[in-house]
C-alpha cells in the first residue's frame, strides 16, 4: 500500500519565504526584517509572490518526504523531476526474494488481477532461481518488473513542488504518480497552508497546459481543489 509521509521541512517555511521576499524590496537588515514580520505581513507577502509570479524566494523552503509502496514505474516518473534530491532502495544491494508489487486498477476493474498475480509469481521464481545459481543481485534484477514496489526519500523546495503539483496532480497524469502528488500536497498543506494555498493542477487557478489533449473536466477539477483548499 502506498504511503507518503512528510518527515522534515524548513522550520517556519512560510515566514522564511516571506522574509526572503521582503529582503528583495527593503534595505533593512536581517534582524529587522524578521522581527517586524507579523502573521498578517507573512500572508501579504506570500500572496504578493503568487500574484506577481515572483517565485525565487519560494526556493528557500524545502520539504522531505518518505515514500513507500509505489511501483518502479512510478518512481521512474518521479525522478524525472531533476530539481530534487533522491535516495532509493537499491535492487543492486537489496535482495528481492519476496518482492511486493503494485497491481494497476485496470486489471482489477477487468477482473483479471489473478492473471497479473500469476505473472508476478513466475518472475519471482525466475529471480530466485538465478540468485540460487549464483547470479549477482545487480544482474538478477534485470528480471524484475516495473510493478515491483520500491521506497525512497525525496526532497524538493517549494518552487519545484509547485511545478510538480501543476504537472502531476493533473487528470492527464498517470494514476499512480497523481496519487503520490496529491498525497504530497495534502502533507505540505498541513505545515504550510498559505504557501500551497493555490497549488495543484494548472487549470485550478489558471489555464490548462495540455491544449487539445486536456481532460475536458476543468470545472470539476477546480471545484475539487478549491474545496480542498477551503
Active site residues per annotation: 168
The overall longest dimension of the chain from CA atoms, in Å, is 69
In 3-state terms, what secondary structure has residue 3? Answer: strand
| Of 141, 158, 159, nearest in space to 150 by CA | 141
Of 5, 146, 13, which Cα lies nearest the Cα of 64? 5
> Could you give the CA distance from residue 177 to residue 163 in angstroms, rounded to a whole number?
14
Q: Are strands 149-157 and 84-88 parallel, antiparallel or unpaired?
A: antiparallel
The Cα 129–Cα 131 span in angstroms is: 5
Rounded CA-CA distance 199/189 in Å is: 9
Return the closest-CA partner of residue 60 out of 158, 183, 160, 187.
158
Write the secondary structure of 12-77 as one string of H (helix), E (strand) and C (coil).
CHHHHHHHHHHHCCCCCCHHHHHHCCCHHHHHHHHHHHHHHCCCHHHHHCEEEEEEEEEEHHHHHH
Amino acid at each position: 500500500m502506498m504511503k507518503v509521509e512528510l518527515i522534515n521541512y524548513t522550520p517556519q517555511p512560510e515566514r522564511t519565504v516571506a522574509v526572503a521576499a521582503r529582503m528583495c524590496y527593503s534595505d533593512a537588515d536581517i534582524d529587522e526584517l524578521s522581527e517586524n514580520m507579523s502573521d498578517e505581513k507573512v500572508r501579504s507577502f506570500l500572496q504578493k509572490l503568487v500574484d506577481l509570479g515572483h517565485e525565487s524566494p519560494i526556493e528557500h523552503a524545502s520539504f522531505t518526504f518518505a515514500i513507500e509502496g509505489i511501483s518502479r514505474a512510478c518512481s521512474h516518473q518521479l525522478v524525472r523531476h531533476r530539481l530534487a534530491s533522491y535516495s532509493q532502495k537499491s535492487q543492486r544491494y537489496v535482495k528481492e526474494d519476496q518482492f511486493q508489487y503494485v497491481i494497476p486498477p485496470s486489471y482489477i476493474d477487468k477482473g483479471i488481477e489473478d492473471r497479473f498475480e500469476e505473472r508476478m509469481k513466475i518472475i519471482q521464481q525466475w529471480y530466485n532461481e538465478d540468485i540460487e545459481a549464483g547470479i549477482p543481485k545487480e544482474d538478477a534484477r534485470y528480471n524484475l518488473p516495473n510493478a515491483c514496489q520500491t521506497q525512497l526519500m525525496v526532497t524538493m523546495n517549494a518552487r519545484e513542488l509547485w511545478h510538480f503539483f501543476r504537472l502531476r496532480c493533473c487528470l492527464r497524469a498517470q494514476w499512480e504518480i497523481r496519487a503520490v502528488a496529491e498525497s504530497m500536497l495534502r502533507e505540505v498543506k498541513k505545515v504550510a497552508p498559505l504557501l500551497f494555498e493555490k497549488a495543484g493542477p494548472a487549470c485550478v487557478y489558471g489555464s490548462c497546459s495540455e491544449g487539445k489533449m486536456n481532460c475536458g473536466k476543468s470545472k470539476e477539477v477546480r471545484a475539487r481543489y478549491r474545496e480542498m483548499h477551503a
